[in-house]
Structure 1
Amino acid sequence: MLREARIRAKWHLFLLSRLRDYAQLLKPNLSIMVVFSSVVGYLLAPGVQFNWLNVVILFVGGVLVTGAANTINQILERHSDAFMKRTMSRPMPDGRMGTGEAWALAVVAGVSGVWLLGHFFNPLAGLLSLISLLLYAFAYTPMKKIHPVAVLIGAIPGALPPLIGWVAATGSLGIGGWILFMIQFFWQFPHFWAIAWVGYEDYLKAGIRMLPSNQGRTRFTGLQCMFYSIVLVPMAIMPRMVGITGNVGMWVTMACGVFYFIASVYFYIHNDHKSAKRVMFSSFIYLPVVLLALLFDKL
């Protein structure tokens, strides 16, 4: 009896450890943040009423697709992850999991997520989610070690979630969905570059090139952040123009753009760790506030 209890305890610990490893691969916290914009895109579509079942299916499908992309990202970067402090304890660089098991998880999650979106909503939503997965995993991920244009490539799958949500609701690539795509597209550049600036040494060790200048931590990064963030200010008018949201949503979105731009200006002037983190945290504030403002003021 004692021996059986010990075996059961060992299996229990093993399963808990494996679940933690799977969670590290799928990155559910990051996936939830990404899928949140997809749900908002769905709810912002004209004529859509809140339905718990549809929202849950969209949410789960999006988390699975995003989790699959994150897993493939870690498979392809398992060797470089071993050189970075924040990633060296992941399952593969730490030796706790082989690539075969990780690929199986990625395939099951990816196929399940694409099927859910394509079956319960429409084929176009499933196709867009598949394109997003493939772009992130097989274009953005390897390009990070080749050229800073990886940020541009990564911004495409990063901006697709609200468009996928819109397509899931309407079945078509409407102007409203493209506007949400563009807002999230431009938002990502200062977000990516601020993170890359803060973690520059780690990225350098791993051979990952994310900053827009080959010279590294120059003011050019702050200048680029200013350019992409200022675009978001006039872009705040577009959701109001096409009738997605009202005046409150427009003004909140515009104010958030100004807030993001000011953080970028501060980053350009000071070009230090503190100002880079300010842009990073501003990006964390900008997107959820804008999406919620647009949704709560939906026309």
Structure 2
Amino acid sequence: MSTSTTTTSATTLAPERTGWTARMADYWELTKPRIVAMELITIAMGFYLAAAADWSGWVLFATCLGTGLVAGSASTLNMWLERHLDALMNRTANRPLPAQRLRPTEALVFGSVLLVAGALLLAAGPGVPTLLLGIGCWILYVVIYTPLKTRSTLNTAVGAASGSLPIVMGWVAAGGEFGLSALSLFGVLYLWQYPHFMAIAWRCRDDYQRAGYVMSTTVDPTGRRAGIEAIVGSLLLLPVSLIPAWLASSTLLAALYLGWAVLLSVVYIWASVAFARSPGDATSRTLLRASLLYLPLWILGLLLVAV
């Protein structure tokens, strides 16, 4: 995105709206591409873990692209619904809608088209079960999580569920059955998000307060509640993260994974406890970094299990 685009006044349409490069960049920003990219990684991981020897490249392609489109739609419509609140927060005021680089109707149409295209791909590729999971994920994020953010701290629980379903979608798309393995993959991603969200909620608490979001850090500005939730999430994550060891093809690989998962969880618990004991910018930054390290390193451990 060009410098002139990022400094556009929020009261007038930016001149760059007539430039296709800037317009495409704004549409791209609506999809929250970094979140979509993380979801695609977890989808591919779930697919890889469940895939048999005769897995289909077309099904994998349709699952990833279809889910990416549905996720992009959810993010776009989330921004459409929250455009007035985004204008109140420093970190979101320059998004395409509050900055008026795109019209609300353009975002609404774009998000709707992404949803239809993604749903058609999921139906044509992995089939109805994966499609239903994708639509469920979209509903959780757009219909429940988004309005709940200004009403209850339960929005974190709903948002975490939405963010955890893609790995199950990949698992089901590859022919995996609903069972303990699928639930454990969902559980790891779900519980991982609690300390992660608490760190972000602390760092963005002033913005959230201005926008009227009901978060643990706005309900309890001391950070104590957020710290407790981070500890509970990281503690529960430890036993749940050990379950995928059942996927290992040998006792040695299972043992290696167990040791790896315990090490990751211990670090995550330590960072959560440090934040809970002394909520602040330094400890929240440490917790956020620990969360961002945990996920890719846990995925590496899963790759070891699947060898």
Give ranges in structure 1 of 5+ residues lacking alignment: 1-9
User: Residue in 2 aligned with 1:138?
Assistant: 143
Q: Tell me: CA distance 1:51–1:189, structure 2 relative to 1, closer, same or farther (3 Å).
A: same
Residue 278 (structure 2) pairs with residue 270 (structure 1): yes
Residue 292 (structure 2) pairs with residue 284 (structure 1): yes
Q: CA deviation at 1:41?
A: 0.6
Q: Give the Cα–Cα distance (whole angstroms) in 2 for the partners of residues 166 and 198 of structure 1.
A: 34
Provide TM-score, normalisation by structure 2: 0.88
User: Residue in 2 aligned with 1:95?
Assistant: 100
Residue of structure 2 aligned with 1:214, choices 219, 225, 247: 219
1:215-247 deviation per Cα after TM superposition (whole angstroms, max 9, x unaligned): 223322112211110111122321113547733
Q: Tell me: CA distance 1:243–1:212, structure 2 relative to 1, closer, same or farther (3 Å).
A: farther
Q: Tell me: CA distance 1:120–1:52, structure 2 relative to 1, closer, same or farther (3 Å).
A: closer
Structure-to-structure mapping, 1:1-299, within 5 angstroms: 14-45=19-50, 47-48=52-53, 52-170=57-175, 172-211=177-216, 214-241=219-246, 243=248, 246-298=254-306
Partner-residue secondary structure (3-state), 1:89? coil
Q: Give the Cα–Cα distance (whole angstroms) in 2 for the partners of residues 59 and 47 of structure 1.
A: 18
Q: Give the Cα–Cα distance (whole angstroms) in 2 for the partners of residues 65 and 107 of structure 1.
A: 9
| Greater Cα offset, 80-89 or 238-247 | 238-247
Provide TM-score, normalisation by structure 1: 0.91
Q: Give the Cα–Cα distance (whole angstroms) in 1 for the partners of residues 241 and 151 of structure 2.
A: 34
Q: Give the Cα–Cα distance (whole angstroms) in 1 for the partners of residues 235 and 176 of structure 2.
A: 32
Q: Tell me: CA distance 1:48–1:102, structure 2 relative to 1, closer, same or farther (3 Å).
A: farther
Give ranges in structure 2 of 5+ residues lacking alignment: 1-14
The letter of the residue matching 1:199 is C
Q: CA deviation at 1:113?
A: 1.4
User: Residue in 1 aligned with 2:4?
Assistant: none
Across the aligned residues of Structure 1 and Structure 2, the Cα RMSD in angstroms comes to 2.1
Q: Identity rate of aligned residues, in percent?
A: 32
| Greater Cα offset, 81-90 or 230-239 | 230-239
Q: CA deviation at 1:48?
A: 5.0
Q: Give the Cα–Cα distance (whole angstroms) in 2 for the partners of residues 48 and 161 of structure 1.
A: 22
Paired residues, what number? 290
User: Residue in 1 aligned with 2:5?
Assistant: none
1:102-155 deviation per Cα after TM superposition (whole angstroms, max 9, x unaligned): 111111111111221221112100110011011101100110001111001111
Preserved CA contact (<8 Å) 1:125 1:171: no
Q: Tell me: CA distance 1:132–1:31, structure 2 relative to 1, closer, same or farther (3 Å).
A: same
The letter of the residue matching 2:276 is Y
Q: CA deviation at 1:260?
A: 0.7
Q: CA deviation at 1:284?
A: 0.9
Preserved CA contact (<8 Å) 2:70 2:134: yes
Q: Tell me: CA distance 1:172–1:61, structure 2 relative to 1, closer, same or farther (3 Å).
A: same
